[in-house]
C-alpha cells in the first residue's frame, strides 16, 4: 500500500520533534539511581525518566496527529485511525540510563501496522539524530548515511543484544563466543535502536538479538533498511515482529554472517 508523501514527511517531522522532546525530558530527569520499578522480568526496569520522556513524546504526537494510537513500551494509548499508529520507546537503554551509562536513545516511529514508514532515533547525550522516511533514505543530523561495503568477516564489528531471560542470555553469549573469532570485535551496547542506527552509518556491522520488541525496532529497522542494510530472521526471511532471533547487518556481509550463526546455533543447542 502506498501512502501520501506529504503524510510521511509530516510524520517524519513529528517523529523528530517528539524524539527531541523526549530526549530533553530524559536528560532533565537523569540522575544516579533515580526512582525505578520492575516490569515482567527482574532486569526489565522502568524509571521516572522513562515516564517523563514518554509524556513529552506523546504530547508532541497527540498535538500533531490527534486520534492516532500510540504504542509505547510503557503503555498503549488507543486511537481510532485504523492500521496507522505510532510506536515509541521513550528510553531505549533504560538499564544504561538507570546506572548512569551515557548510552540510550528515544525511538519514535510512524507505522502501518508493524511496518515503519517514518521514524527518528535521538541520542540526547551526543546530540545525534538518526532519521528515515520510507523510500527517501536515512540521515544522521541531516546528512545522508549508507552502510559501507565490507570485504569479509574479519572487518565486522559484531553487536549482540541480550534478553532479560537468563536462559536466552546464556545462549546468545555462547553464539557470540563462537562467532567472535571470525570477526574484528564484539560489542553489546544495551540499546537496540542505536545498534541498528549504527549499522546504518557504518559504526557497527551487525546486530544479533533473540527477540526484538516492536518499540525497540520500529524506527531503527526503517533507518537500517533505508541505509541499505538488512534485517531477517534466522530463516533468512525479512524480519517481522515475533519471529524470534533476528540478524541485522550490512547487506554485503549479511548472508555470510547468517550462515555462520546458523551453524553456531545448531552446535550450541546440540551441546
Same domain assignment for residues 121 and 244: no
Considering 117, 145, 173, which residue would you say is the last residue of a domain? Answer: 145
Same domain assignment for residues 175 and 68: no
Contacting residues for 169 by C-beta, under 8 A, at least 6 apart: 162, 163
State the Cα–Cα distance between residues 241 and 85, nearest whole angstrom.
15
Same domain assignment for residues 12 and 116: yes
Strands 206-209 and 185-187: unpaired
Same domain assignment for residues 35 and 160: no
Residue 34: closest CA among 98, 96, 103, 104: 98
Taking a C-beta distance cutoff of 8 angstroms, is the pair 217, 240 a contact?
A: no
Range of the domain at 247: 153-270
- The pLDDT value recorded for residue 41 is 47
Same domain assignment for residues 25 and 140: yes
Same domain assignment for residues 17 and 140: yes
Strands 185-187 and 157-160: parallel
Residue 108: closest CA among 53, 159, 152: 53
H or E element in which residue 8 lies: helix 5-29
Give pTM, 2 decimals: 0.91
Same domain assignment for residues 31 and 115: yes
Domain count, the chain: 2
State the Cα–Cα distance between residues 156 and 137, nearest whole angstrom.
23
Residue 248: closest CA among 265, 215, 223, 267: 223
Per-residue pLDDT of the chain (271 residues; tens, 9 = 90+): 688 999 999 999 999 999 999 999 999 998 755 555 455 444 457 888 999 999 999 999 999 999 999 999 877 877 777 789 999 999 999 999 998 999 999 999 999 999 999 999 999 999 999 999 999 999 999 999 999 988 889 999 999 887 666 666 777 788 778 888 899 988 989 999 999 999 999 999 999 988 899 999 999 999 999 999 999 998 899 888 777 789 999 999 999 999 988 888 777 777 6
Amino acid at each position: 500500500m502506498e501512502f501520501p508523501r506529504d503524510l510521511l514527511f509530516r510524520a517524519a517531522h513529528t517523529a523528530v520533534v517528539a524524539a527531541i522532546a523526549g530526549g530533553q525530558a530524559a536528560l532533565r530527569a537523569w540522575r544516579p539511581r533515580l526512582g525505578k520499578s520492575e516490569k515482567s522480568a527482574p532486569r526489565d526496569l522502568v524509571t521516572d525518566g522513562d515516564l517523563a520522556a514518554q509524556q513529552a513524546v506523546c504530547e508532541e504526537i497527540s498535538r500533531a496527529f490527534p486520534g492516532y494510537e500510540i504504542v509505547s513500551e510503557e503503555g498503549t494509548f488507543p486511537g481510532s485511525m485504523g492500521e496507522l499508529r505510532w510506536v515509541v520507546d521513550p528510553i531505549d537503554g533504560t538499564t544504561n540510563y538507570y546506572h548512569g551509562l551515557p548510552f540510550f536513545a528515544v525511538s519514535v516511529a510512524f507505522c502501518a501496522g508493524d511496518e515503519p514508514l517514518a521514524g527518528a532515533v535521538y541520542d540526547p547525550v551526543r546530540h545525534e539524530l538518526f532519521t528515515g522516511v520510507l523510500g527517501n533514505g536515512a540521515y544522521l543530523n541531516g546528512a545522508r548515511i549508507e552502510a559501507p561495503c565490507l570485504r569479509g568477516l574479519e572487518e565486522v564489528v559484531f553487536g549482540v543484544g541480550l534478553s532479560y531471560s537468563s536462559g536466552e542470555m546464556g545462549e546468545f553469549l555462547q553464539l557470540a563466543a563462537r562467532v567472535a573469532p571470525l570477526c574484528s570485535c564484539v560489542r553489546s551496547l544495551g540499546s537496540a535502536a542505536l545498534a541498528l542506527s549504527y549499522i546504518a552509518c557504518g559504526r557497527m556491522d551487525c546486530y544479533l538479538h533473540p527477540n526484538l520488541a516492536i518499540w525497540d525496532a520500529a524506527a531503527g529497522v526503517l533507518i537500517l533498511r533505508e541505509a541499505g542494510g538488512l534485517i531477517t530472521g534466522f530463516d533468512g526471511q525479512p524480519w517481522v515482529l515475533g519471529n524470534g532471533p533476528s540478524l541485522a547487518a550490512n547487506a554485503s556481509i549479511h548472508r555470510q554472517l547468517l550462515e555462520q550463526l546458523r551453524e553456531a546455533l545448531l552446535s550450541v543447542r546440540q551441546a
